[in-house]
Structure 1
Amino acid sequence: MATEFFNKGMARNIYYGGSFFFILLLLGLTFDTMLVLPERDNRHLITESVVEGKHLWEANNCVGCHSIMGEGAYYAPELMNVFDRYGNGDEEIFKGFMRGWMAAQPLNVPGRRQMPQFNLTDEQVDALSDFLIWTSRIKNNNWPPNIQG
């Protein structure tokens, strides 16, 4: 009985009307994202050192073990908030920590996962540190939620 009130013309109108509505919604959300994104991603803080750090991050496949902003492997700690955890807001302290940490790898502690030695120079470690510092300043609504990584 209900099918006699629903015909092909109505189905066509629902299809086209719904498609038009959702295309407009998609365009509106895309436009809003493009307006808001520059305020949140801190692109004005990107330096050559940050770019070099990103290249080192990719070339050494850090995401193969670590995650950043919740993306990547979960074998090793999240690194989005590593500056907050070990630098306490001081870039020089953090860079010193990173130089020491990278030089000490692998730790050779039995029964623990080991980070390989990448033989990075101090300048490369500083660039990687700058990338992690820049990443920590992205406004990401407190994601990931666990400060411990």
Structure 2
Amino acid sequence: NGPAGDVDVQQVHAETGVPLEELQALYVQGVLAQIPRDSNGILTSIGSATHMSESDCSPCLFWFKGSCAKGIRCKYCHFAHKGQKNKRIRPSKATRLKWREEQAAMGDQPIPDEDEDNYAVPDDFAVSLQTQPQPELMAPPKAPAGALPAILADQ
């Protein structure tokens, strides 16, 4: 037993593939013993240690999608949270541009960017606006009897 409690660093290394030196440092700091295991007995993440105190716990969006590459090193929680919804991880801008270029090269319609307004306006829309009758301009409202115009009221 070391300062971190009853943790077998060799076993954690075999289980996670994290380098022994890194695990030994976490063990000496007492962090390794605080990393909880899930219901299947699998180590979660460093960030999961605060899961019981919901105010300090931040869920890992990548773990939720099944793609957190950091494993136990992740500073975010690897437990499901109440009300947590499956968020879509948006591809990078470079990836979206690459997809657009590939589709353009194949002659397909480009993938619209979510940041752009993609509202198709028919060609005859502007013409139809010009041919519609325009409403008469309204006269400004009349001031109540006895009221001074605003320019005179300030003097």
Q: Report the TM range for the smaller structure's normalisation.
A: under 0.3
> Please, what TM-score do these two structures have when normalized by structure 2?
0.21
RCO higher in 1 or 2 (8 Å CA, sep ≥ 6)? 1
Greater percentage in helix: 1
